[in-house]
Amino acid sequence: MADDAQLLVLRPRRAGTLERLRELRNRRGLIPFFGRDMLERRYARTLLGWVWIPLRPVLDISTQLFLFGGVLSLSSEGVPYLLYLIVVLGAWRLFATTAYWATRSLEMNRTVLKRAYVPRLAIVCGSIIVSGVDYLIYLAIGVIAVVVYLLSDGTSHLAFGPETPLLFAGLACLILSGVGIGLVTSVYATHVRDVRFTLGYALGFWQYITPVVYPLSQVPDSLRAITLVNPMTAPIEMVKRGLFGVGELPAEAFISTGVFLVLFLVGGVLFFLRSESMAVDNL
C-alpha cells in the first residue's frame, strides 16, 4: 500500500512572465475547456439551443448581403459579392469575436476563479475556440458558395498561387489582435460592464472603417489616411489577396498592424500578468 501512495506537494506559483507562459503551455488543455464553456453560454436559456451557433453567421451574411450587396450595390473587385462578403466578413468576425469574448472571459468565470487557481491566460485564450467555431461555419458556407459558382459559371473565383500564404498570415494577425485587446480589456471588465458594452459598439464602428464590406480602392482620398492607419486593414487585405488575388498591400497599413501587435500583444501580455491577480482578487 505504501508503494502505491502518491505524494502531492503544493507549492506557491513562481513569479515571472516566462513562468506564466510555461504554465500556459503545460495547461494548454484548459483552453478548449473554457472555450467550450463560452460557446455553450452563447445559446444558454434559448429555445433553439445550439442551432444559434450556425444561425448567427447565416443571419449575419444575409442581412449584410441585402444592405451592401443589394441596396447599396457595393463593388467587390470582380469577385461575386456573396463570395467576397462570406470570406471577408468571416475573417473580420474572427477578430471581433475573439476580442469580445476574451474581454468577457475572466468576468464570466468568476465562480471558477474564486474556488481554485487556474492559469488566467488559458481562460482568455479560450475565446479563440468561440471565434474559431464561428469561422468554420463561415468557411463551410463559403465552400458551398464556391461549389455553386463552379456549377453555374464554371469558375470558383479563387486565385490560389504564390500569394496564398497571405491568407493564413492575415487570419493569424486577426486572431492575435483580438487576443491582444482581450488581455487588456478583460482586466477592466472584471470591475465594470461598461468595458464590454463600449467594446461592442467600438467593434461595430471599427468594421465600417475597415475595408470589409467594400474594397480599399473605393475609399475616398480624403478618408484613405484613416483607413491606412487602421491596424485591421492590412490583415483584411491579406485575406483578400491570398484567396482572391485582389486588394492592396500598402506599406503604411503593415506598419500600423505591426505597431498594434507589439503594443497589444506583447504589451498586453506584460500588462495582464501584472494586473490579473488584483483583478481576480476583486471579483
- Is pLDDT above 70 for 260? yes
| Model confidence band, residue 1 (pLDDT cutoffs 50, 70, 90) | very low
Q: What is the pLDDT of residue 20?
A: 77
Cα(15)–Cα(250) distance, integer angstroms: 42
Contact 21, 273 (CB under 8 A): no
What integer pLDDT is reported at residue 277 of this predicted model?
A: 76
Q: Name the residue with higher pLDDT: 119 or 243.
A: 243
Q: Give the C-alpha separation, 207 to 92, whole Å.
A: 8
Q: What is the pLDDT of residues 124-169, one digit of tens each?
A: 999 999 999 999 999 999 999 999 999 998 899 999 999 999 999 9
The reported pTM is: 0.90
Rounded to the nearest integer, the mean pLDDT of the chain is: 90
Cell of 214: 467594400
> How confident is the model over 237-247, as pLDDT tens digits?
999 999 999 98
pLDDT above 90: percentage of residues in the chain: 66
The whole-number pLDDT of residue 16 equals 66
Helix (H) or strand (E) holding 89: helix 81-108
